[in-house]
Structure formats: structure tokens, C-alpha cells
Amino acid sequence: MYARVLAQEIVLAALDHDSVWSHRIAVLTAAMTLPLLFFGGLVTSLKVGMVVPDWPTTFGHNMFLYPWSEMVGGIFYEHSHRLLGAAVGLLTIVLAIVLWLTEQRQWLRRLGLIALIAVILQGVLGGLRVVLIEQKIAIIHACLAQAFFALIASISLFTSAEWQADRPESPSSDAKKIQQLGLLTVGLIYGQLILGALFRHTGAGLSLHILGAVAVFIVTFLLVDHVQQYYATRRPLLRSGILLRRLLLLQVGLGLFTYVMKYLAPSGPLTPQAVLLATSHVIVGAFMLVTSVRFTLRAYRIGRGSEEAASPIFSEQVTV
């Protein structure tokens, strides 16, 4: 107990404001997760997931000492994905330590540990995919990656000045609808990501994926319409809803173009445009999940009189 208090005092002495630094680390971790997801999507789109046949080594080399001159073709994408995964893992360790030593909210400290466990599990799954040559593991790996991104983005919201300044109020019957719509949207989007991963890795489930897209489209527009009608004064909530709708429209367009270029075009090698479209489709899906999760978290802080209390007291330039 004494050792932990001493360590906490040392960290607090080194940092001007612990919550500011935990927020910065969380944002940096989320930002680093984006290129990790992008390269993971490229690995799948290019079908180079098994181009490096060993793990945790790379062709017998220590992963961090593998020669850059040999990172060509598919090796570049697969090995870069590993290096980015290691960087995100290191940042998650730092985040968990800073939260544990400086954060007063016990549930948030535990959330940092959950993020650490998740990133370790994600790394192990990625390695087992190579060692066991099992496609099912690749699907689980892809789905967990999206959940991890949403978790880190949630921690960045919990550590933000917005979250600490905006105090939750008593729940009201009016707030329940927006909360339920938010949860439904999160569930549908994550279900879409699962179906998308299944389709990308196995070619199965396209019809369900299209039906899921229709459901997401309808629920998202209902959600945003409700926010614009009843919660227009809650700026972060409104911005999240509008951003989610814009991402949805972009995602629909990317999905249609990807399908045309990959499955309706004449057969042959994948063009760079088709690879980029397919991978961008994955990334925009990740943004939609994160935006819907953060929207729903904000919605659960709405209570009686929230509209009066929700004047634009936050100065976020970009709300996700």
C-alpha cells in the first residue's frame, strides 16, 4: 500500500495534471490504433496474412531487428502490421499504468487493465493465426480489433475535460429513447463489422451484410432525427449524431464501389483502387463504431433539465 502511494506521489510530481496526461496518452493510443487497423485491412485485402510464416519472429529474426531492406511486397504490409501492433501494445501498457497510479475513479483504472488484457489477447490471436493457420482466428482477431479501438476511444472520452465538466443528472423517461436508440445503433454497427469480417475472410454472409446495412441506415437516421428534434442544444451529442450520419453515407458509397470493383469487374489481379476502397470501408466502419459508442455514452448522461444545462460549455473542435 505504501509503495503504491509513493509511486502515485512521484507520478503526480512529474505531471502537471494527471487527467490531462492520461487523456493525451489515451488519444495517442487511439490515434496509433488507426494505422494498425488500416494495415490489418490491407493485409486482408491483399491476402498476405501468411506471407511471414513464423511468429513471434520474422523469418527467424527478432521482430524489431528484421532488416528494412527485406520488407518488400506482402512482407512490408504484414511486418508493418506487427510493428504497429507492438507500438499500440506499448502505449496501452503506459496508459494502464498511468490510469492505475493517478486516476481516482476505480472503475476507470479497471477499464485501463481491461484494455491491457485486450491488447495482449489481440497480439496472441494474431500470432496464433500464423502458427495454427486458422482462418477462424483471423475473424476473431478482426472483430476484437474493432472492439479494442472503441474501448480506447471511450477511455479518451472518460478522461476528457468534457466528461469531467458535464455531470450526469437524474434519468428521465425522455432520455431513455435516445439511450435505447444509441445502444441499438452500437449493436447493429458492431454486428455489421462482424458480418463484414466474415465476408472478407470467407466470402460468406453477403446477403446478411446488406440487410444489416439497411437496418443501420434506418436506425441511424431515426437516431439523428431524434437528437436534432429534442437535444439540439447538447452540442457534443448533436455533433456525434451528425458525424455518424455522414460516416454512414460515406460507408454506403464505399461499400457499393467496393462491391462493383471487386466482384462485378472483370476477373484479374486486384487493382490498387479496389484494395484501397475495401480497406477504407473497414476503417470507416471502425469510425462509425467509435462514434456510436461515444454518442451512447454521452446519451447516458442526459437527465431532467439537461437541455437547459447543456448550453455550449464545451469547446471541442472535432467531436467523434
The string of pLDDT tens digits covering residues 180-236 is 999 999 999 999 999 999 999 888 889 999 999 999 999 999 999 999 998 888 888
In this model, does residue 89 exceed pLDDT 50? yes
Domains and CATH numbers, the chain: 1-159 (no CATH), 167-320 (1.20.120)
Burial class for 276, CB neighbours closer than 10 Å (0-12, 13-18, 19+): middle
Q: 113 near 96, Cβ under 8 Å?
A: yes
Instruction: Using CB atoms within 10 Å of the CB of residue 99, give its burial: 0 to 12 exposed, 13 to 18 middle, 19+ buried.
Output: buried
pLDDT in tens, 239-290: 999 999 999 999 999 999 988 887 776 665 678 888 899 999 999 999 999 9
Q: Tell me: the pLDDT tens digits for 108-142?
A: 999 999 999 999 999 999 999 999 988 899 999 99
CA distance 99 to 112: 7
Model confidence pLDDT, tens digit, residues 301-313: 875 344 433 333 3
Say if residues 209 and 199 touch (Cβ distance below 8 Å): yes
pTM: 0.86
Cα distances (Å, whole numbers) of residue 109 to 114, 188, 236: 9, 28, 25
